[in-house]
């Protein structure tokens, strides 16, 4: 089953600037080879359930390795028989905006 996952993970005990820690997770996502988009409040990853959850687990562990408290937010959209939703969902909304639907 194809899933789109929006992941946000960060330590809660490292002060105000967290990019050093967040980049650990983003690096894992990029190296996974899965389709993804980095956003200002999280990263969206597309793939099959098991492979995406493996990446989510690795991201959590990378951030947690030297943190006593970690926040992880996960939103999942699972759909059978559908692929390339990372691009097609946005294209669908853009089309509706252009046509006034």
Tens-digit pLDDT profile for residues 4-60:
999 999 999 999 999 999 999 999 999 999 999 999 999 999 999 999 999 999 999
CATH number, domain containing residue 82: 3.30.70.930
According to the model, what pLDDT value does residue 31 have? 98
Q: How many CA atoms lie within 13 A of 69 on its CB side?
A: 4
Q: How many domains does the chain have?
A: 1
According to the model, what pLDDT value does residue 62 have? 98
Q: Exposed (0-12), middle (13-18) or buried (19+): which is 43, by Cβ within 10 Å?
A: buried
Categorize the per-residue pLDDT at 81 as very low, low, confident or very high, splitting at 50, 70 and 90: confident
Among candidates 30, 27, 36, which has minimal Cα distance to 3?
36
According to the model, what pLDDT value does residue 10 have? 97
């Amino acid at each position: 089953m194809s899933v789109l996952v929006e992941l946000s993970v960060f330590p809660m005990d490292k002060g105000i600037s967290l990019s050093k820690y967040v980049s650990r997770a983003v690096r894992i996502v990029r190296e996974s080879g899965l389709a993804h988009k980095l956003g200002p409040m999280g990263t969206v990853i597309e793939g099959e359930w098991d492979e995406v959850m493996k990446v989510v687990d690795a991201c959590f562990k990378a951030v947690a390795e030297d943190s006593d408290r970690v926040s992880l937010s996960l939103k999942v959209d699972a759909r059978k028989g559908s692929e390339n939703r990372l691009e097609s969902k946005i294209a669908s909304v853009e089309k509706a905006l252009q046509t006034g639907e």
